[in-house]
Amino acid sequence: ALAPRCGWVVPGLQQRLAVPAAVSPATGRPYAAAAAKAAKKDAKRSRQEKAKEAAKEKPLPRRRPLMSKPVDDVYLTWLYRRPSYGLEQAVGMLKRFQELDFTHPKQFVYINVFLDMALQKKKKVDPFSSGVALPHRFTDEVNKVLVFTENDQEAEVAREHGAAIAGGVELIKWILEDEIQADFYVAVPAIIPRLIPLRNKLKKKYPSTKRNSLGNDIPRMVQFFRECHEYSVENESVIKTRIARLDMPTEHIIANLKTIIQDICTFKPSNFDPIVQRLVIRSSTSEGLLLNLDGILPQVEKAEEKEEEDAADEDQQKPVQESVST
């Protein structure tokens, strides 16, 4: 009795059945979504390219030229060129800073050397380390020197002159296992062929004639490396090292600095730009002072120019002498 009669139609149902079901674009045309996504990416890319072109066409903001010297005691440092000082003037300023700040008078003096390692084309000077004998020692510290020799008499001579360790191939095992370490390693030529297992271990400290750590004059090598000052290149183009104590006479500080700079300049041929580009000096508690390089770098170029001038003068004098002889 509750069953609907045949032929009954619920109002509105006939209209809904008459309308075909909507088909989503993704299911109806799978490539349409990908095309829409690609078009969106192209539009975004074109907007980015237009923004870049507009940025290129826009003129750069005009920067104010840096002023040469501030007028007041307090000023914005980025508006002025960093002042540079003569070497003697800078050392005097460091001594004055120490007096005004009441800091320790025997603090160390440091230099930061910024290098130009570029050579021709894409070649560069390899980072290096070196030892140099300073004219004025500023510390009582001595380096630990190890001497390689198979001769018992040479080993005894090495110990008498201050070598910490002296011996032959029996030391190789202990060095490879880090049981023995030294600041410098020197050797006589006769034992070098037997030290090849240490080449990769010692690397730049491996005895060689280039570093003056290979030879027969054991007393001279031991004395030099016990007292020499070692420095090395950091971050591929910077040398940071101490050179003196602040309480030393000014001329002693200057002599030590020039000795180190001259040794650094030997690592790049003189026909290229100077290897030292900037030089900053400071003490343990003071600010860094930029140094004027005039008078500090070796005068190689001037010597070459003088030789060329002398050669030109000789060429000019030759025709005169020839005319007089005729």
pLDDT in tens, 246-280: 999 999 999 999 999 999 999 999 889 999 999 99
The residue with greater pLDDT, 267 or 51, is 267
User: Domains in the chain, ordered, with CATH?
Assistant: 85-127+236-298 (3.30.190.20), 145-226 (3.40.50.790)
Note the pLDDT tens digit of each residue in 153-170.
999 999 999 999 999 999
Flag whether pLDDT at 139 surpasses 50. Answer: yes
pTM equals 0.69
Flag whether pLDDT at 18 surpasses 80. Answer: no
Flag whether pLDDT at 21 surpasses 80. Answer: no
Split at pLDDT 50, 70, 90, the class of 180 is: very high
Nearest 5°: phi and psi at 63? -90, 145
Rg of the chain, C-alpha, whole Å? 38
Q: What is the rounded distance in angstroms from the CA atom of residue 189 to the CA atom of residue 56?
A: 65
Flag whether pLDDT at 62 surpasses 80. Answer: no
Q: Which residues contact 311 (CB under 8 A, 6 or more apart)?
A: none
Dihedral Cα 242, 243, 246, 248, nearest 10 deg:
150
The residue with greater pLDDT, 233 or 2, is 233
Flag whether pLDDT at 200 surpasses 60. Answer: yes
Quote the pLDDT of residue 74.
84
Cβ atoms of 237 and 104 within 8 Å: the answer is no
Cβ atoms of 180 and 198 within 8 Å: the answer is no
Q: What is the rounded distance in angstroms from the CA atom of residue 240 to the CA atom of residue 281?
A: 10
Flag whether pLDDT at 61 surpasses 90. Answer: no
Flag whether pLDDT at 56 surpasses 60. Answer: yes
Flag whether pLDDT at 77 surpasses 60. Answer: yes
Quote the pLDDT of residue 326.
43
Average pLDDT on 36-48 reads: 78
Cβ atoms of 182 and 220 within 8 Å: the answer is no
Average pLDDT on 44-49 reads: 79
Q: Each residue of 144-170: b (16+ CB within 10 Å) or e?
A: bbbbbbeeeebbebbeebbbbbbbbee
Quote the pLDDT of residue 323.
43
Task: State what percent of residues in the chain have pLDDT above 70.
Answer: 77
Split at pLDDT 50, 70, 90, the class of 288 is: very high
Quote the pLDDT of residue 66.
61
Quote the pLDDT of residue 59.
65
Average pLDDT on 235-240 reads: 94
Average pLDDT on 10-15 reads: 53
Structure letter (DSSP) for residue 194: G
Task: State what percent of residues in the chain have pLDDT above 90.
Answer: 59
- Give the chain's mean pLDDT: 83
